[in-house]
Amino acid sequence: MRLSAEQIAIIKQTAAEVFGDEVNVRVFGSRLDDDARGGDIDLLVESPCEIESKVDKMLTLTARLQLRIGDRPIDILVIDPSTALNPVHRHAMQTGQRL
């Protein structure tokens, strides 16, 4: 995985600040390929509880992460029990590595 231990800690801490301690975060996509270079950071935030204001919280998480780990492209998917899963969600759940 092409994220440092410090970046992983920042992502986990920031996701908990925004969404609550019960969320799990997975990284998926090109950052899992150690031989690749560059690319965005694809994150899946999973909550066992329904999340209010998902889009607002997703944007807040993106902004805080960009401030804390650097201005780089970050794509975030958020799922909770009310989310209608699409193929991208399923792919992220199946291939993502939990942080």
pLDDT at 26: 95
CA dist., res. 97 & res. 1, Å (int): 9
The shares of helix, strand and coil residues in the chain, as percent rounded to the nearest 5, are 45, 20, 35
pLDDT at 70: 85
Q: What is the largest CA-CA distance in the chain?
A: 38
The pLDDT tens digits of the residues spanning 26-81 come to: 998 876 766 666 678 899 999 999 999 999 999 999 999 999 998 788 999 999 99
Reported residue count of the chain is: 99
pLDDT at 89: 93
Read off φ and ψ for residue 53, nearest 5 degrees: 55, 50
CA dist., res. 27 & res. 40, Å (int): 11
Q: Are 40 and 77 in contact (CB under 8 A)?
A: no
